């Protein structure tokens, strides 16, 4: 039971990390210090997506589920509703590349806005 709980906790952490990779630039607009955490996280997310690698959080979650003798993802609320968000059906490498590019473009735009704001505030 504890391993299933830990696996669910890792799954939630994983979802939060993915959300931070995608939307962390927006947080940086409000608090520029977040850039120090977001840029490495975003780089890691891009690296994992482009190389097709496995995130360590995935490895930890799967390992915990195996220890818990859980062969599938049918059972808990978290597994039923969050797994399809993180691992959608029909996700191909081509779609991953496009999504990665889109996230990169959005974040480049956000960081461009942040740099513009910082330069504008310094010139006043």
Q: Per-residue pLDDT for 93 more than 60?
A: yes
pLDDT, one tens digit per residue, over 52-89 is 888 888 888 888 988 988 754 544 445 556 667 777 77
For CA atoms 75, 81, 85, 90, the dihedral sign is positive
Q: Give residue 92's pLDDT.
A: 82
pLDDT, one tens digit per residue, over 16-61 is 998 999 899 999 999 989 999 999 999 998 998 888 888 888 888 8
Locus of tokens 């990665």: 100
Q: Per-residue pLDDT for 99 more than 90?
A: no
> What total of structural domains would you count in the chain?
1
Closest C-alpha to 12, from 84, 89, 88, 82: 82
What gap in Å lies between CA 36 and CA 20, rounded to an integer? 13
Q: What is the pTM of this model?
A: 0.76
Q: Are 107 and 42 in contact (CB under 8 A)?
A: yes
What gap in Å lies between CA 36 and CA 58, rounded to an integer? 24
């Amino acid at each position: 039971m504890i391993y299933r709980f830990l696996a669910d906790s890792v799954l939630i952490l994983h979802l939060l990390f993915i959300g931070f990779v995608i939307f962390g630039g927006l947080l940086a607009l409000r608090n520029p210090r977040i850039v120090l955490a977001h840029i490495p996280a975003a780089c890691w997310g891009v690296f994992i997506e482009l190389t097709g690698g496995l995130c360590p959080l995935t490895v930890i979650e799967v390992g915990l589920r195996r220890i818990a003798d859980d062969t599938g993802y049918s059972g808990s609320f978290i597994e039923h509703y969050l797994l399809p968000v993180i691992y959608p059906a029909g996700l191909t490498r081509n779609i991953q590349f496009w999504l990665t590019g889109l996230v990169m473009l959005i974040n480049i735009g956000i960081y461009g806005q942040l740099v513009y704001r910082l330069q504008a505030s310094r010139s006043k």
